[in-house]
Amino acid sequence: MDELELQLSDVVLFELPTFEDAQAFRTRLRPQWHGWSLADDDIWLFAAELGAEPDGLALLLREAQNLIAERELPPVRFVVDNRVYVLEQAEPVYETTGKTQQAA
């Protein structure tokens, strides 16, 4: 494993469609996850470094899903551990009212 691969093993790399989307990710995620962003042809790359938290990846992905939903983005490709995945909008959370319906 070369040094670059070792460095990227603790990084999640998101592909975003616009500069504005990259800025939204930066604003939302930078307080908790350090990283960088840059333009690569028609997409913006946004990287977030994972910390030592055992659930850091799950927290990062949940926050990214919420942001994708807020910005009404199409599914976003991301790379972690040299594997490509697709992240979709977070599902809305529905609250139960405590009422039950009886079948007629």
The amino acid occupying position 90 is: A
pLDDT value at 93 more than 80: no
Flag whether 94 is in a domain.
no
Flag whether 63 is in a domain.
yes
Total domains, the chain: 1
Flag whether 32 is in a domain.
yes
Residue-level pLDDT at 94: 61
Range of the domain at 66: 3-87
* Cβ neighbours of residue 3 closer than 8 Å, sequence gap 6 or more: none
The pair of structure tokens assigned to 92 is 């809305």
pLDDT value at 5 more than 60: no
pLDDT band at 91 (very low <50, low <70, confident <90, very high): confident
Flag whether 95 is in a domain.
no
Q: What is the CATH number of the domain that holds 31?
A: 3.30.70
The amino acid occupying position 1 is: M
Sign of CA dihedral 82, 11, 77, 56: positive
Q: What is the pTM of this model?
A: 0.77
